């Protein structure tokens, strides 16, 4: 039987080898991982736990909040407030940042999260997940504001997600590769099941919501048309398509077997760069994808280089197998 490596052992050994996980960051990651276990339990109850359906409120995005959105958000806030590792938190489900109350010590990190991504899939039992991003508080003033969060994604200290699917898996990077842990429900522990996820540079699989095709910019339509043309077209090979409508599930598939994921600009809302959020969806996923040898752009620039201007700002996303992302990005750059 191969020796099982726990999340704690992995983090301790990573600190010993690379020095990238100081004590406060290790505590942060372990607390988030424990919170994800609690969210997984709530998700898995489904109709038995009175957790399905709408919470009867809207979030800052103007989207109807599901009961599990609110539950997941509260679990992450409560789990992370008291440890002394965080100065503040930001969430897709909260209009403004949540500063750690004065009754607790403030730490040097800031945690951002989409507590439950893919909410439209909750009630139909399709994989959903939690996405998180960790930044360092770079100003040494006691106070903290939204401006402290507005750092490019390349400043992240860590990023990860948890998929609540057939397995419950935690995928994590601190800047030295990507590791995957699978929840052993019998012992309640996270077990290292892959210590180096790598994305193949080429793929035959794309992920996009095809129902929006008529609204995309021409370069995006050109790329998809060429994929659909298959062997007899300019790409000379047939492509497959997947779209789960949970970013965590689509990105997990790409980290596991390759592919290219796109959520592009849409002419129906020309002032909106895209649907997905930069700070707590695109940035953490871009960090993970790059650490696994892939690429992530907004169809023109590297996502991790983008300078945020607002906490909940949105962005176009093209990420996954390097050669495909390069192609999509080149089409957009050539089109100006
Ligand atoms: P659509 C989920 O609501 C989400 O934010 C991402 O997880 C997912 O990739 C996307 O939206 C799905 O969007 O328009 O296909 O429902």
The string of pLDDT tens digits covering residues 62-82 is 788 888 999 999 999 999 999
| Cα of 203 from ligand 1 centre, angstroms | 22
Distance, CA of 246 to CA of 263 (rounded, Å): 12
Strand, coil or helix: 179: strand
Please give the distance of CA 267 from its chain centroid, rounded to a whole number: 25
Which residue's alpha carbon is nearest to atom 16 within ligand 1? 245
Stretch (H or E) spanning 69? helix 67-81
- What secondary structure letter does DSSP report for 2? P
Strand order in the sheet with 260-263: 240-241, 205-207, 260-263, 317-320, 295-297
Distance, CA of 182 to CA of 201 (rounded, Å): 25
Strand order in the sheet with 109-117: 98-99, 86-91, 109-117, 128-136, 158-164, 168-173, 179-184, 189-194
What is the chain's length?
336
Q: Provide the pLDDT for residue 1.
A: 56
Mean pLDDT value across the chain: 95
| Cα of 270 from ligand 1 centre, angstroms | 18
Q: Provide the pLDDT for residue 283.
A: 98
Distance, CA of 37 to CA of 39 (rounded, Å): 5
| Cα of 70 from ligand 1 centre, angstroms | 18
| Cα of 81 from ligand 1 centre, angstroms | 29
Higher pLDDT, 201 or 54: 201
Of 27-36, 41-50, 320-329, which gets the smallest average pLDDT? 41-50
The string of pLDDT tens digits covering residues 116-171 is 999 889 889 999 999 999 999 998 777 899 999 999 999 999 999 999 999 999 99
Helix extents (H) in 132-182? 146-149
Which residue's alpha carbon is nearest to atom 9 within ligand 1? 247
Whether residue 191 is predicted with pLDDT greater than 70 in this model: the reply is: yes
pLDDT average, residue stretch 32-45: 96
Mutate-to-test residue for ligand 1 from 263, 280, 282, highest number of ligand atoms within 8 A of CB: 263
pLDDT average, residue stretch 105-114: 96
Whether residue 316 is predicted with pLDDT greater than 60 in this model: the reply is: yes
Q: Provide the pLDDT for residue 51.
A: 79
Beta-sheet strands, E only, within 34-178? 54-58, 64-66, 86-91, 98-99, 109-117, 128-136, 158-164, 168-173
| Cα of 316 from ligand 1 centre, angstroms | 12
Which residue's alpha carbon is nearest to atom 12 within ligand 1? 245
The string of pLDDT tens digits covering residues 225-242 is 999 999 999 999 999 999
Mutate-to-test residue for ligand 1 from 244, 246, 284, highest number of ligand atoms within 8 A of CB: 246
- Nearest CA to 76 out of 129, 39, 25 is that of 39
Distance, CA of 298 to CA of 307 (rounded, Å): 12
Mutate-to-test residue for ligand 1 from 163, 245, 264, highest number of ligand atoms within 8 A of CB: 245
Q: Provide the pLDDT for residue 153.
A: 98
Q: Which residues line ligand 1 (CB under 6 A)?
A: 117-120, 209, 245-247, 263, 275-276
The minimum-distance atom of ligand 1 relative to the CA of 263 is 9
| Cα of 186 from ligand 1 centre, angstroms | 32
Domains of the chain in start order, with CATH, are: 7-194 (3.30.540.10), 205-334 (3.40.190.80)
Pull the structure tokens for residue 305: 């280089």
Helix extents (H) in 150-258? 218-229, 247-257
The string of pLDDT tens digits covering residues 288-315 is 999 999 999 999 999 999 999 999 999 9
Whether residue 29 is predicted with pLDDT greater than 90 in this model: the reply is: yes
Its pTM stands at 0.96
Q: Provide the pLDDT for residue 60.
A: 75
What is the band of 54 on the pLDDT scale with cuts at 50, 70, 90?
confident
Output the CA angle 317-319-321, nearest 5 degrees.
160
Q: In sequence order, what are the residues at sequence separation of 6 or more whose Cβ sits closer than 8 angstroms to the Cβ of residue 32?
A: 76, 79, 80, 111, 113, 132, 160
């Amino acid at each position: 039987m191969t020796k099982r490596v726990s999340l704690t052992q992995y983090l301790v050994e990573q600190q010993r080898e690379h020095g990238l996980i100081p004590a406060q960051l290790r505590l942060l990651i372990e607390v988030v991982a424990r919170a994800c276990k609690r969210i997984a339990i709530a998700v898995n109850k489904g109709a038995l736990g009175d957790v399905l359906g709408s919470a009867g409120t809207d979030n800052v995005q103007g989207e109807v909040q599901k009961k599990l959105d609110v539950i997941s958000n509260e679990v992450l806030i409560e789990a992370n407030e008291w440890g002394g590792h965080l100065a503040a938190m930001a969430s897709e489900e909260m209009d403004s940042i949540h500063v750690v109350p004065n009754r607790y010590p403030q730490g040097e990190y800031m945690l951002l999260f989409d507590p439950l991504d893919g909410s439209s899939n909750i009630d139909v039992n399709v994989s959903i997940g939690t996405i998180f991003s960790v930044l360092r508080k770079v100003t040494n003033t006691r106070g903290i504001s939204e401006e402290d969060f507005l750092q490019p994604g390349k400043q992240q200290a860590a990023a990860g997600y948890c998929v609540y699917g057939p397995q419950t898996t935690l995928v994590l990077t601190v800047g030295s590769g990507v590791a995957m842990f699978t929840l052993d429900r019998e012992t309640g522990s996270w077990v290292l099941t892959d210590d180096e996820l790598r994305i193949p540079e080429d793929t035959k699989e794309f992920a996009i919501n095809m129902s929006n095709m008529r609204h995309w910019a021409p370069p995006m339509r050109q790329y998809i048309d060429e994929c659909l043309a298959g062997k007899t077209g300019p790409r000379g090979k047939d492509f497959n398509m997947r779209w789960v409508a949970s970013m965590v599930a689509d990105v997990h598939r790409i980290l596991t077997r390759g592919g290219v994921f796109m959520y592009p600009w849409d002419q129906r809302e020309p002032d909106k760069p895209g649907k997905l959020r930069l700070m707590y969806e695109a940035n953490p996923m871009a960090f993970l994808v790059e650490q696994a040898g892939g690429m992530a752009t907004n169809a023109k620039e590297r996502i991790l280089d983008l300078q945020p201007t607002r906490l909940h700002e949105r962005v176009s996303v093209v990420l996954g197998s390097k050669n495909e992302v390069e192609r999509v990005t080149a089409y957009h750059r050539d089109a100006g």
